[in-house]
Structure 1
Amino acid sequence: MQIQAVLFDMDGLMIDTERLSDKVWCEIGARYGLHITPADTALLRGRNRAGGRAAFQKRFGPDVPYDVMCDAVVGRLTAMLARNVPVMPGLLELLEQVRSRNLPMAVVSSTHRSLVESNLRVAGIRDYFTALVCGDMVSRSKPAPDIYLTAAQTLHTQPAACLVLEDSYNGVRAGAAAGCATVMVPNVDPATPEMENLCWHIVPDLAKVIPLLDQPI
């Protein structure tokens, strides 16, 4: 079977925001007397707001002011990224190669749609994508497969014919659970034996995805 659609995660995969987001979460957490570590922010990667809230309530207790902190983090990140969104190496080359093959593309991100739209517009890449499927559009976030199943349906493509590109563990788990050919491009989180078992391929950067576009899955 040939690839018929490509589904892109956003944060950490296309846009270099994971370390920035981690820093902001730590700063906002300190305002509320919470010592948020990189291990704590890793719990949030790939999750929508509901999933992040559940993870932080388990970690810090049921009274953790997650929604207040999340609003503050989103506001800070939106302001910081309003004029400059750093894209990952190889992204533009990959987008052009996918477009040249007439393969539809979707952004599949746990981030709220408004921030996804803003980041893509500022980065100058919004027009590459036929659809956006975001964290506020599904009830269950990654690692559940819902968001990727919704994206495949939106593009009128079977999940097994979709190439999923992810950098996070929860994202890889979601893509694999949806039955998609999942490729990990590690960023903050290194590849693990679990990821090797779940992924079709693991590559060091987005440019290395290009040769995979013409391979059968």
Structure 2
Amino acid sequence: MDDNVDTPGNGQRPARTLQGVALDLDGLLFDTEPLYWQVGSQLLDRRGHRFTDQLQRRMMGRPGVQAMQVLIDALQLTDLPETLLEESNDLYAEMLTQGVTPMRGLLPWFDALEASGLPFGVATSSLHRFADQILRQNGLRDRIQFLLTGEDVRKGKPDPEMYLLAANTLGIDPANMLVLEDSENGCAAAVAAGSVAVAIPGVHCEGHAYPGAHLVADGLDDARLLGLLTTKAG
């Protein structure tokens, strides 16, 4: 038996050689989930409904129109998803002007990625303009090799399309790609793509499950996560 073969979830070195990295954005690199909570709360308050943890959980990782459809279906709203999304985007854009908080260990993690020599980028369900704005506000846009957003795929997470596209963009097999996610929908997409999936749950991910994840880390500064970068191609 190969000594590198490991059981998902134990955080040991993966048997596969890493050749690239794909990173989620919301809740993984930046603490944007509270903003999404405020947006959802305002949207539904205007319609006489209450935004809940269960609704947010179902929406996480899905592109805008699909996320709005979750609300419409769950609450039998009469809005079109495109109209609801436009209203949501206006609210979110206003909130972003105040900036967002980086997650703990973000800059050291980027430094470690660059030191490893592995190509890496962001694969998020957010709109391109918002993801680009957040990354530029924090001086990170020029440090990534690619930016994929919900506008680049037809199916949102937990479908694997986003991470299959990320692997294709990197020019590598998905099995040799490390993916970092915070939500169960995102992690499920990474697992379904056949990648080395690492979950980093935030406070907004209470109750989320991560079957098939190689590691459930404590944060971007988790030593076990940093240790995975030693499995890059020599």
Same fold (TM over 0.5): yes
**Identical residues among aligned pairs (%):** 29
Deviation sequence 1:167-202 (CA, Å, 0-9, x none): 00100000000000000000111365x41x310000
Report the equivalent of 1:189: 205
SS of 1:207's equivalent in the other structure is: coil
- 1:115 pairs with 2:130: yes
What CA deviation, in whole Å up to 9, does each residue of 1:86-139 have, x standing for no partner? 110001101111111111111000011111101110121111211111101110
| CA displacement 1:16-56 (0-9 Å, x = unmatched) | 01022112210121112222222212221000023213322
Q: Which residue of 2 aligns with 1:151?
A: 166
Select which of 118, 141, 144 maps to 2:156: 141
Where do 5+ consecutive residues of structure 1 fail to align?
A: none
| 2:216 corresponding residue in structure 1 | 202
In structure 1, the partner of 2:113 is 98
Structure 2 counterpart of 1:16: 31
Per mean C-alpha deviation after superposition, the further-off stretch among 202-211 and 29-38 is: 29-38
For 2:166 and 2:135, the matched residues in 1 are separated by 17
For the pair 1:45 / 2:49, whether they are aligned, the reply is no
Which residue of structure 2 aligns with residue 30 of structure 1?
A: 45
Q: Deviations over 1:41-72 (max 9, x none)?
A: 22210000232133223212262444333222
Q: State the alpha-carbon separation in 2 of the partners of residues 155 and 69 from structure 1.
A: 34
1:14–1:110 Cα change, 3 Å? same
SS of corresponding position for 1:103: coil
Q: Quick one: which of 72, 77, 81 aligns to 2:92?
A: 77
Query: What is the RMSD of the two structures over their aligned residues, measured on CA atoms?
Result: 1.8
The letter for the 2-side match of 1:45 is M
Distance (whole Å) between structure 2 residues aligned to residue 78 and residue 42 of structure 1: 21
2: CA distance between counterparts of 1:55 and 1:27? 16
- Which stretch of the first structure deviates more once superposed, 203-212 or 177-186? 203-212
- Residue identity opposite 1:17 in structure 2: T
Q: TM-score, normalised by structure 2?
A: 0.86
The alignment's TM-score, normalised by the length of structure 1, stands at: 0.92
